[in-house]
Amino acid sequence: MSFFMIFRVALRALGRNKMRTALTMLGMIIGVGAVIIVVAIGRGAEEQITASVQAGGTNLITISAGNWNRGGVSHGMGSSPRLKAVDVEAIRQQVPGAQYLTASVNTRDQVIAAGENWQTRIEGTDVELPLIRFWDVELGTFFTSTDVSSAAKVAVLGSVVRDNLFGEGSDPVGQTIRVRNQSFKIIGVMTAKGSGSFGQDQDDTLFAPYTTVQRKLRGRDGTNISRIMVSARSADEIAGTTAQIEEVLRAQHGLIQGEENDFMVRTQDEMMSMLTSTTGTMTTLIIGIAVVSLIVGGIGIMNIMLVSVTERTREIGLRMAVGAKGQDVLWQFLVEAGALSLVGGLIGVGMGFAVSQALERSPLAWPTSVPPEWVGIAVGFSGLIGLVFGFYPAWKGAQLDPIESLRFE
């Protein structure tokens, strides 16, 4: 019998018992649907993280003081390893792969302007920040290297800070704000960018020269730098540049061979994998559960197929009487089981897709993304389950004796 014929016979047999077929499929539908939904949510979250990490700047390498892997930041006789302006200069001079770089000193403080006040993140940075983060100034200008070297009290506001202090969409360039009782002149406002990688609002930031923040706002450790941000010339150069930076900083810090780094160099990829590793664990866990439910669905199929073979013993006997071989009967029931679970799987994919879409549009607004390869895996797996669990009933049918079957009541 041709495969097409077997398939038609199988579909017709399934069509005869619609209720039973539907109920048997339900196991597969739920199993496959669950896989698709879980994967869609996981992938959606991952894509969102990726997008927001990339929004922070591409080919970004971040160097921070201290090394978590060394078991605590402090080492030696109480002196913590620090990053200094000379380190930034050394990288600028000695690492050709570093296209843009900036020192970064962060703090949080109250910002006061014309009777309004607002608690915000204050990022002390350097002139190349807009280039590193692909972030333009909307109004006014960013500060210059003269401002940095002279530790000028100038500020560039993130759009949220501007909105809260001066009113939405206003132009405060030229006005002054007060931080820690010192006045800063507003020279620019950044374009609105949206949420950053850690969920915080990137626009809720005030930028000032890092030298100013070091000296005027963070008295305690006046010359320290929290982070150095470097953007490599291209994605290909990230690895090489990272190695060079490490080498330069080890020399700067006088580390001898075998001694561990007293700083950390992280690339965007590492950040991303750190952020996505939890979603990955969740996905693995829930896929495990989904696989179990698919197996339960498979057992349901096996059960129904066993009933079906028994019910249709006379039909099997008759088919054998007119020339069907054991293998013909085997294929007939195998394809029936395969079709049952495959169609169930396809419906499950459709349902998973629909639910993902619904989640995205619901008030939850979960980002979802259904990866095509997972649709393939889910459908293929469901077909396979039908074949695996359908085999025993089909084999039983194939072993039947024609005469005994024809006499079966």
Pairwise CA distance, residues 105 & 228, whole Å: 9
Check residue 326 for interaction with another protein (CB under 8 A): yes
Total of chain residues touching another protein, rule CB under 8 A? 22
- Closest distance to another protein from the beta carbon of 44 (Å): 46
- Nearest residue (CB) to another protein, 196 versus 402: 402
Check residue 323 for interaction with another protein (CB under 8 A): yes
Pairwise CA distance, residues 151 & 386, whole Å: 72
- Nearest residue (CB) to another protein, 327 versus 362: 327
Check residue 307 for interaction with another protein (CB under 8 A): no
- Nearest residue (CB) to another protein, 242 versus 332: 332
**How many Å is the maximal CA-CA distance in the chain?**
104
- Nearest residue (CB) to another protein, 16 versus 220: 16
3-state secondary structure of 190: strand
CB 90, CB 83: distance < 8 Å: no
Pairwise CA distance, residues 116 & 396, whole Å: 82
Tokens of 178: 């007060």
Check residue 315 for interaction with another protein (CB under 8 A): yes
- Closest distance to another protein from the beta carbon of 310 (Å): 16
Check residue 335 for interaction with another protein (CB under 8 A): no
Give the number of other CB atoms < 10 A from CB of residue 183.
Answer: 13
- Closest distance to another protein from the beta carbon of 28 (Å): 25
State which H helix or E strand residue 188 sits in: strand 182-190
Tokens of 168: 């939405």
Pairwise CA distance, residues 31 & 287, whole Å: 10
- Nearest residue (CB) to another protein, 185 versus 314: 314
By 3-state DSSP, what share of the chain in percent is helix, strand and coil, each rounded to 5? 55, 20, 25
Burial of residue 55 (CB within 10 Å: 0-12, 13-18, 19+) is middle
Q: Which of 307, 321, 354, 358 binds another protein (CB under 8 A)?
A: 321
Pairwise CA distance, residues 183 & 401, whole Å: 98
Check residue 318 for interaction with another protein (CB under 8 A): yes
Q: Which of 157, 319, 340, 378 binds another protein (CB under 8 A)?
A: 319
Check residue 336 for interaction with another protein (CB under 8 A): no
Give the number of other CB atoms < 10 A from CB of residue 249.
Answer: 23
**Closest Cα to residue 123, out of 141, 140, 142?**
142
Q: Which of residues 1-40 bind another protein (CB under 8 A)?
A: 1-2, 5, 9, 12, 16
Check residue 314 for interaction with another protein (CB under 8 A): yes
- Closest distance to another protein from the beta carbon of 12 (Å): 8
- Nearest residue (CB) to another protein, 71 versus 323: 323
73 DSSP 8-state letter = S
State which H helix or E strand residue 317 sits in: helix 313-321
3-state secondary structure of 250: helix
Q: Which of 35, 186, 324, 330 binds another protein (CB under 8 A)?
A: 324
Check residue 320 for interaction with another protein (CB under 8 A): yes
Q: Which of residues 374-403 bind another protein (CB under 8 A)?
A: 402-403
- Nearest residue (CB) to another protein, 49 versus 329: 329
Q: Considering only 98-106, 153-161, 190-198, 311-319, which stretch makes contact with another protein by CB under 8 A?
A: 311-319
- Nearest residue (CB) to another protein, 270 versus 328: 328
Residues that bind another protein (CB under 8 A): 1-2, 5, 9, 12, 16, 314-315, 318-328, 402-403, 406
